[in-house]
Chain A
Amino acid sequence: MMDELRELYQEVILDHGKNPRNFRHPDDANREAKGENPMCGDRFMVYLKLKDGVVEDVAFQGRGCAISTASASMMTEVIKGKTEAEAKALFETFHDLCTKDDHDHGDHGPVDEDAMERLMVLSGVRQFPVRVKCATLAWHAMNAAIEGEDKASSE
């Protein structure tokens, strides 16, 4: 198997893709937003429980490819317990990770370095431009939910 594919589909991604974490609809969620990729038909709902500006719970449901499912799953793990500002900073920084070379990354405020390190496994999508939307789909929905929108605007 080619190196590029191993880079894209690392074990962690295959694991999260097959066994997504927080794949549920929390009863007490107070925000939700849909993320949809019209090209491939992937569709996620991201649920948030926000309290006093903190993400107390985050979960998702829907259908998607290994990349989008793994990214959604890992997102729920790193976003939980973050403030809205921290979650948004992670979204922006993660977006840069998927789309830009290292030296072009912007400054999006203080960001959880450990979380970014875990998310590094998804940076392989940079070599596969058509797959970037897969990796960022649930993140856009999460960001929309924080903003109080009910769906992620398509880019």
Chain B
Amino acid sequence: MDTQITLPTFDVERVRADFPILSRTVHERKGKPGKPLVYLDSAASAQKPRQVIDAMTRFLEEDYSNIHRGVHFLSQTATDQFEEARRKVARFLNAPSERNIVFTRSATEAVNLVAHSYGRTFLSEGDEIIVSVMEHHANIVPWQLLQMDKGIRIRVVPVDEHGVLDLNAYEDLLSDRTKLVAMTHCSNVLGTVTPAKIIARMAHERGVPVLFDGSQAAVHGVVDVQDIDADFYIMTGHKLYGPTGTGVLYGKYDLLKKMPPYQGGGDMIESVSFEGTTFKAPPARFEAGTPAITEVIGLGVALDYMEKLGREAIAAHEHDLLQYSTQQLSQIDGLRVYGTAPGKGPIISFTLEGVHPHDLGTIVDQYGVAVRVGRHCAEPLMERFGVGATARASFALYNTRAEADALVESVIAVKEFFGA
């Protein structure tokens, strides 16, 4: 009997039609037609689908108001939509409840919130925080500020030549002094996906809570905070095809409950008097001031969009692009890829011998190819690999193999240009 397996199809052309910006050209000048945009910088920030743009416009045109404070019709409508977005985020991460979800303005602010509120309350001199050498500056500098304030120590887990986290070194670093582990779930430079579940289990065996920076990981795979058993999990909306100004802090509720406020202001208090002010329960406790209402609602729609396409289908599509591009790029003489960990995310950092990444970035841009060049807010990692800067191509759900080809062709042109 013939068995035919039907694979779920991912219609990338249909997906692309949802992103208005992808049909534009760049560098049009003096009557010369521009180049089609080949956007390979989604790890810095992703483009937004029409659905998100429209939802935000509709909200602003029809339902906009401040939230959590008015008795009037619009305030209630806006509050409902804002809180619905919180439920969507909870579902996206498989959080036990929307009470676990705190909205911040960015992933950076979410890390700072934990460093400030949890760190200053529960860490003291001599305590240690473990991070990895792959961290984005956003998961280094907040801890350094805490270090200056509290005299804690930051310990760093190394990676091997492929960019794989050294779990033995991690185990050795875990000690009675360890009070927090703060680790990326996916490197924004190497693409390495860290074994979050194992990292958390090893920390929990010593009673140490774990924070994961999921800014990249949440974009490229299915994240289940309960399965990982993360104590804190952080995401940023603008890399999830949502708007800027939206960050997410997931926290276990018993942890959030014992944490003091991060910022003071409206919407986070129960009652205010000059004799003493009492604070609301989480998540409201950590959401002082008017939040990015429209943007948070937009983020909810962006998550809907990803769910509708299917996060596993997205991951499979991106993995195909990663493999194809890596294979094509590797055929270029003198090109070195940084980060070859198995199961990595769709991020390719590379250098071309004899050409500085900054020059490479300028030239491929003339071909319409947008890549990131520089240190990617991960200077310690650059030092680890002994490289001043790299070029980085990152793939998203809307990229195609043809775009990977355009990248390869433009890099070959760079090589010819410099005679490298």
Chain A residues positioned under 8 Å from B355 (CB to CB): 66
| Interface residue stretch chosen among B98-106, B159-167, B341-349, B358-366 | B358-366
By a CB distance below 8 angstroms, the chain B residues around A38 are 375
- A64 contacts which chain B residues (CB < 8 A)? 356
- The complex places the Cα of A40 from the Cα of B389 at a distance, in Å, of 6
Which residue numbers of B lie inside 8 Å of A, CB to CB? 29, 354-359, 362-363, 366, 373-375, 379, 382, 388-389, 413, 417-418
Listed A/B pairs (9) with beta-carbon separation below 8 Å: A4-B29, A5-B363, A9-B417, A40-B374, A41-B374, A42-B358, A65-B359, A66-B355, A68-B358
- Taken together as a complex, chains A and B put the C-alpha atoms of A63 and B386 apart, in Å, by 12
- Does A43 sit at the interface, judged by CB under 8 A? yes
Measured CB to CB, the nearest residue on chain B to A9 is: B417
Q: How far is the CB of A40 from chain B (nearest CB, A)?
A: 5
Residues of the A chain whose Cβ atoms lie less than 8 Å from the Cβ of B359: 9, 65-67
- Residues of A32-58 at the interface with B, using a CB-CB cut-off of 8 Å, are 38-43
A42 contacts across to B, CB distance below 8 A = 358, 388-389
Smallest CB-CB A-B distances: 10 pairs? A65-B356, A65-B358, A41-B389, A41-B388, A41-B375, A40-B374, A40-B358, A66-B359, A65-B359, A63-B388
Complex: A43 Cα to B355 Cα, angstroms: 16
Q: In the complex, A9→B375 CA distance in Å? A: 23
Known: A8-B362, A40-B357. A14 touches B413 (CB 8 A): no
Contact with B along A10-38 (1 / 0, CB 8 A): 00001000100000000000000000001
A130 (CB) vs chain B CBs: closest residue: B362
**Nearest Cβ distance between residue A115 and chain B, in whole angstroms?**
25
A100 to B230, CA, bound (A): 53
B87 to chain A, nearest CB (A): 39
Is the Cβ of A1 less than 8 Å from the Cβ of B358?
no
Do A4 and B375 form a contact, CB below 8 Å, given A40-B357, A66-B356? no
Residues of B within 8 A of A8 (CB): 362
Chain B residues with CB under 8 Å of A68's CB are 358
**Chain A residue contacts of B29, Cβ below 8 A:** 4
Q: Given contact pairs A14-B418, A41-B389, enumerate 5 new A-B contacts (beta carbons under 8 Å).
A: A18-B354, A42-B388, A65-B356, A66-B355, A68-B358
- Is A87 an interface position by the 8 A CB rule? no
Contact A43 B413 (CB under 8 A): no
Compute how far the CA of A39 lies from the CA of B359 in the bound complex, rounded to whole angstroms.
Answer: 13
Query: Are A128 and B374 within 8 A (Cβ)?
Result: no
Min CB distance A105 to B, Å, is 24
